């Protein structure tokens, strides 16, 4: 089995609270983002971009999540408050993949959105190839206009995913995968 297939067969999501540092170096991050951006992109629109959240910015993002949560639910208990504050600090690096799909005369928005999803997957594979663990999450913040605006997104931009990257501190068991026979059909000749 070649190295790429072996890597893809071992890919697992690791909960960010079970990650530690060090995170990627600046050169490794450049490699990860470069590989992430090498996806199908009909029309060469680059309908995505990255927001890197690292260092103290992870705490600021968590404080922002807590602030918005409290505005909506001032009666949050301590456990819920702590969960909001900790959303971005588990992994040493979080990259928000921003989908900036927009109307185009030839390229359907759906294809642009799919391209952003491919960016997320390429990022995970690139991080894994460099020896890191990576997890693709969204959460309510991805859908909240206040949060998106606060991290610098324009009104039409959406978060395809928050990719958490770090070193796993625990072994993750594989979850059951659907049998291929249940998810594949063959179009008849």
Rounded Cα–Cα distance for residues 106 and 93 (Å): 36
Which pTM value belongs to this model? 0.94
Computed over every residue of the chain, the mean pLDDT equals: 94
Question: What mean pLDDT is predicted for residues 15-34?
Answer: 96
Q: Copy the structure tokens of residue 78.
A: 């301590």
More confident residue, 12 or 144: 144
Mean pLDDT lowest for which of 7-11, 17-21, 109-113, 128-132? Answer: 7-11
Rounded Cα–Cα distance for residues 172 and 4 (Å): 20
Give the per-residue pLDDT at 167. Answer: 96
pLDDT confidence tier of residue 5, bands split at 50, 70 and 90? confident
Identify whether the C-beta of residue 26 lies closer than 8 Å to the C-beta of residue 35. Answer: no
Residues 6+ apart with CB under 8 A from 142: 148, 158, 159, 161, 162
Identify whether the C-beta of residue 79 lies closer than 8 Å to the C-beta of residue 120. Answer: no
Name the H helices within the chain.
3-10, 26-36, 56-72, 78-85, 109-129, 145-150, 180-183
Residue-wise pLDDT tens digits, 92-103: 999 999 999 998
Question: What mean pLDDT is predicted for residues 49-64?
Answer: 97
Give the per-residue pLDDT at 1. Answer: 65
Give the per-residue pLDDT at 174. Answer: 85
Residue-wise pLDDT tens digits, 78-137: 999 999 999 999 999 999 999 999 989 999 999 999 999 999 999 999 999 999 999 999
Rounded Cα–Cα distance for residues 148 and 167 (Å): 27
Residues 6+ apart with CB under 8 A from 90: 15, 16, 17, 18, 19, 164, 166
Rounded Cα–Cα distance for residues 87 and 17 (Å): 9
Give the per-residue pLDDT at 46. Answer: 94
Residue-wise pLDDT tens digits, 161-186: 999 999 999 888 888 899 999 999 99
Q: CA of 152: how far to CAs of 47, 81, 137, in Å? A: 16, 24, 19
pLDDT confidence tier of residue 49, bands split at 50, 70 and 90? very high
Torsion over CA: 180, 183, 188, 189 (sign): negative
Helix and strand totals (H; E) in the chain: 7, 5
Residues 6+ apart with CB under 8 A from 104: 43, 45, 112
Rounded Cα–Cα distance for residues 140 and 90 (Å): 17
């Amino acid at each position: 089995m070649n190295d790429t297939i072996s890597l893809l067969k071992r890919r697992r999501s690791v909960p960010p609270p079970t990650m530690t540092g060090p995170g990627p170096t600046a050169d490794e991050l450049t490699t990860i983002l470069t590989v992430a951006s090498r996806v199908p992109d009909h029309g060469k629109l680059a309908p995505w971009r990255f927001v890197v959240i690292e260092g103290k910015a992870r705490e600021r993002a968590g404080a922002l999540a807590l602030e918005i949560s409290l505005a909506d639910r001032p009666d949050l208990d301590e456990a819920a408050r702590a969960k909001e504050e900790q959303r971005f600090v588990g992994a040493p690096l979080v990259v928000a993949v921003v989908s900036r799909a927009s109307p185009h005369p030839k390229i359907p928005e759906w294809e642009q959105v799919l391209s952003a999803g491919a960016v997320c997957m390429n990022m995970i594979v690139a991080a894994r190839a460099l020896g890191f663990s990576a997890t693709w999450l969204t959460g309510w913040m991805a859908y909240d206009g206040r949060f998106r605006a606060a991290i610098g997104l324009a009104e039409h931009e959406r978060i395809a995913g928050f990719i958490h990257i770090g070193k796993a501190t625990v072994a993750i068991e594989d979850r059951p995968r659907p049998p291929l026979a249940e998810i594949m059909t063959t179009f008849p000749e």
